[in-house]
Structure 1
Amino acid sequence: MPTTNSLFPTFFLSGFECSTFDWKDAGRRDLSAEIQHYAHANEDYAFLKSLGIAVAREGIAWPLIDRGGGGYDFSCIDGFLAAQRRHSILPIWDLCHYGYPAGLDPLSDAFVHRFADFARAAARYIAERAHHGPLFFTPMNEPTFWGYMGGEWAWAAPFGTSADYRRRFTTALARADIAATKAIRADFPDARMVHIDPLIWVVPPRDRPDLAEAAHRESYDDAYLAWDVISGLKHPELGGCPEVLDIIGLNNYSFGQMEYRERGPHAALEPGDDRIRPLCDLIEEAWAKYRRPCIVAETSGLKGGRPDWLNDIVVEAMAAIRRGVDLHGLCLFPAVDMPDWHNGEWLHNGIADVEKLPDGTLLRKPYLPYVECLHRWQRRLNRVTSLDANPFDSAVDLTDIRRAAQEMDPKPDADWH
């Protein structure tokens, strides 16, 4: 039976791009620095407060903080902590967003132990300074997607180039995730874990029915590999179980529905393709497999399509709730625009765009049609459009959300792009 009280104080969430991968042609990158989030943390969190969003995904950069030998320097997140406290924002802390310290083999026992030690130290640092409870963490962000981009496509470390390595890498990341979860809960038993991966759907080319089995495997086996390991459905000897899985985060972007290519990445389905599935169906399938509370943990449209994308996402989410899915929130990601990883061009996918001033400062410019669309949905779902002094005094009453879903009686469809 779905719960009545939400996990969170607001139904809409957001977050900040915080990748720290070792990138194929650029070495170590720090996306929090590239979007100037360290310098603008107070402004960025004030912006979320003004939007009525009290929850933000935020990063603790393992490769930048871990000094080796058990030494850590967490000072780079002090500005985030101060801004969260000042503006009453609840963080979900990413402990590994595609980056790990140089010299580690991610398939080794040393990787697992070092990440678990880092996770424990990070949790203790946060707990001493937190203004809320319980603590929320995402130990390994998108282990399945990282498996592809780092284990098969060689975009980022460890620069693997085969499907076999990709699966072994994803399993290793899930193993480290389990170890980190248990390390944190040894000190903080009430800590909550949000395990995030993309929703994907892969179809064979129309003229290659012989690839149907491979496409099906990616949709129904590989797409769920990390969650299966973390939940204990696969490799139970690694220590996974439903309580470790805890909360599932479902990322959704237009490029997540793809036509299979024997040498990836696959090709995103074009708008209007009759092989696209309704997002509602993908959400329901993922939730039904694990029966854990869930959120849409990342989603965004691009440029002028952002309001239409948000309309589609909310309608599909309401349809999933109408079917009984225990959905606790939608994360509009990112809050502030981010550069394309490959070419550095601004994607215009944030709630705020950025404008580079002559002195190099990135000025935040809210994209007003997107903001106005968000506020319309907040009002429709009986939610606040700006935060009061204490947004943590009560969680979202999911009865409001379910009532709205019943009244709307939304019809899921594949016509979203």
Structure 2
Amino acid sequence: MKSQAGIFPTFFLSGFECSSFAWKDRGRRDLAAELQHYGHADEDYAMLPRLGIAVAREGIPWPLVERSPGQYDFSLIDDFLTAQRRHNVLPIWDLCHYGYPDGLDPYSDAFANRFAAYAQAAARYVAERAHHGPLCFTPVNEPTFWGYMGAEWAWCAPFGKSAEERRRFTLALARADIAAVKAIRADFPDARMVHIDPLIWVVHPRDRPDLAEEARRESYDDAYIAWDVISGLKRPEYGGSPETIDILGFNNYSFGQMEYQGGGKPNQPLQPGDARIRPLCDLLQEGWAKYKRPCIVAETSGLHGGRPDWLNDIVCESLAAVNRGVDLHGVCLFPAVDMTDWHTGKWLHMGIADVEALPNGTLMRKPFLPYVQMLQHWQERLHRPTTLDSDPFDKSVDLGEVIRAARQLDIAPDANWH
């Protein structure tokens, strides 16, 4: 198998929870602050190269940076930049992770214009302080999912409650995303964009075959509203293109395969053993084939003690997809440090590291050893380093080695991976 340069310096990536939404009953929230990530930035980043990870998704909280129109204070991320330089971790910057400034109408022309100006300012700020290229950004994180949670389920701003408003909001996010890409690339034409949304599968209830078309629409139409626009497949007047969407990021969790509920409420996750569950390999292949762009699994994690088995299943399905020709450049174990359930505030135990609250309120990081061991197992099988030297950027991942390993293992897709 000939060498084939990947996009990133390591095949396994990670990231940190960075939502900054206006939440339904809590007002503006900053999940990085709730995790104490600002204060633990050096410790959090120091963990990654010891695990063979040199790439991390990280957030710039737009509503906290732009507190008045056109006035930016990026000092909030300075400790992140310092830690990235010290520990040689390449960031993929989330520029809008479910949050926009107070008083800004997301359906107005000002929304796209202000987001583009902010994105350009953010790119300039991190470029001046970055230790290594390429510059990588996720302009709007999960625009399709944000459409549901913000404009149909009313979990967060803009607190919509209908499918019509959800589609309208998703289009507004896609339009703003395209404007941001153009603004960034006006200064940095080689910047890479990682566009991220959940990979889902929706089925109708067994006793409601009349809902089959609604379930199909959510799986094949609504799930791709934003990407269809950003890639230029739909609404070409917005200016999308394959180069704009650039890199596809498929988020995959156990609750991404669902039974359709309808009525403006979240669908019901399929339970383990349900015959309607599909192999992740199939879903990756379908999603990738629509756009034919390089891709990553941009978020994935199991819960509690199931994390090692989940990672094993995800890598097996990903390698099966590679054998079908999917241009896969990495798998992101998200989050690096645990996060809380947005609704209950309880720790989910889904990170590479869990947290333990000390009596003084400090959240101590504790890597979950079985998860780490499974990561090391797959790094060795894919001939990837389990720890990094002082210069992980001297060359990118040789995807030829990953493809060769996938062919040697010859893993069959498994519908029971769930």
Shorter chain as denominator, the TM-score bin is over 0.9
Q: In 1, Cα distance between the equivalents of 2:82 and 2:72?
A: 19
Q: In 2, Cα distance between the equivalents of 1:252 and 1:3?
A: 28
What does the per-residue CA deviation read over 1:66-100, in whole Å, with 9 as the maximum and x for residues that have no partner? 03231100001000000000000000000000000
Please list every run of 5 or more consecutive structure 1 residues that lacks an aligned counterpart in the other structure: none
| Equivalent residue, structure 1, for 2:119 | 119
Pair 1:215-2:215 in alignment: yes
* Partner AA of 1:128 in structure 2: E
What does the per-residue CA deviation read over 1:264-305, in whole Å, with 9 as the maximum and x for residues that have no partner? 201000000000000000000011000000000000000000
| Equivalent residue, structure 2, for 1:367 | 368
Helix, strand or coil: the match of 1:68?
coil
Q: In 2, Cα distance between the equivalents of 1:346 and 1:62?
A: 25
Alpha carbons 1:3, 1:326 under 8 Å: kept = no
Shift of 1:3: 8.7
| Equivalent residue, structure 1, for 2:399 | 398
Q: Which runs of 4+ in 1 moved over 6 A?
A: none
Q: In 1, Cα distance between the equivalents of 2:146 and 2:65?
A: 20
Q: In 2, Cα distance between the equivalents of 1:374 and 1:143?
A: 29
Please list every run of 5 or more consecutive structure 2 residues that lacks an aligned counterpart in the other structure: none
Shift of 1:378: 0.3
Shift of 1:107: 1.0
* Partner AA of 2:140 in structure 1: M
Helix, strand or coil: the match of 1:375?
helix
* Partner AA of 1:225 in structure 2: I
* Partner AA of 1:276 in structure 2: I
What does the per-residue CA deviation read over 1:188-246, in whole Å, with 9 as the maximum and x for residues that have no partner? 00000000000010000000010000000000000011100000111010000101010
Shift of 1:4: 1.3
Q: In 1, Cα distance between the equivalents of 2:248 and 2:316?
A: 20
What does the per-residue CA deviation read over 1:289-330, in whole Å, with 9 as the maximum and x for residues that have no partner? 000000000000000000000000000000000000000000
| Equivalent residue, structure 1, for 2:346 | 345
Identify which range, 65-74 or 368-377, moves more after superposition: 65-74
Q: In 2, Cα distance between the equivalents of 1:159 and 1:70?
A: 25
Helix, strand or coil: the match of 1:244?
helix
* Partner AA of 1:145 in structure 2: F
Helix, strand or coil: the match of 2:111?
helix
Q: In 2, Cα distance between the equivalents of 1:23 and 1:77?
A: 22
Q: In 2, Cα distance between the equivalents of 1:38 and 1:67?
A: 19
Alpha carbons 2:3, 2:400 under 8 Å: kept = no
Identity of aligned residues (%): 75
Q: In 2, Cα distance between the equivalents of 1:349 and 1:395?
A: 28
| Equivalent residue, structure 1, for 2:105 | 105
| Equivalent residue, structure 1, for 2:313 | 312
| Equivalent residue, structure 2, for 1:168 | 168
Q: In 2, Cα distance between the equivalents of 1:155 and 1:274?
A: 31
| Equivalent residue, structure 1, for 2:378 | 377
Q: In 2, Cα distance between the equivalents of 1:305 and 1:284?
A: 25
Pair 1:325-2:350 in alignment: no
Shift of 1:338: 0.3
Q: In 2, Cα distance between the equivalents of 1:203 and 1:24?
A: 29
| Equivalent residue, structure 1, for 2:82 | 82
Pair 1:389-2:414 in alignment: no
* Partner AA of 1:75 in structure 2: S
Alpha carbons 2:60, 2:95 under 8 Å: kept = yes
Change (3 A) 1:249 1:7: same
Q: In 2, Cα distance between the equivalents of 1:354 and 1:69?
A: 37
* Partner AA of 1:43 in structure 2: E
Q: In 1, Cα distance between the equivalents of 2:230 and 2:29?
A: 28
- Relative to the length of structure 1, the TM-score reads 0.99
Pair 1:293-2:300 in alignment: no
Alpha carbons 2:153, 2:266 under 8 Å: kept = yes
Pair 1:44-2:44 in alignment: yes
For residues 49-198 of structure 1, the aligned pairs below 5 Å read 49-198=49-198
Q: In 2, Cα distance between the equivalents of 1:142 and 1:254?
A: 17
Q: In 2, Cα distance between the equivalents of 1:205 and 1:374?
A: 36
Alpha carbons 2:3, 2:398 under 8 Å: kept = no
What does the per-residue CA deviation read over 1:119-172, in whole Å, with 9 as the maximum and x for residues that have no partner? 000000001000111100000000000000001000000000000000010011
Q: In 2, Cα distance between the equivalents of 1:3 and 1:24?
A: 50
Alpha carbons 1:354, 1:365 under 8 Å: kept = yes
- Relative to the length of structure 2, the TM-score reads 0.99
* Partner AA of 2:211 in structure 1: L
| Equivalent residue, structure 1, for 2:416 | 415
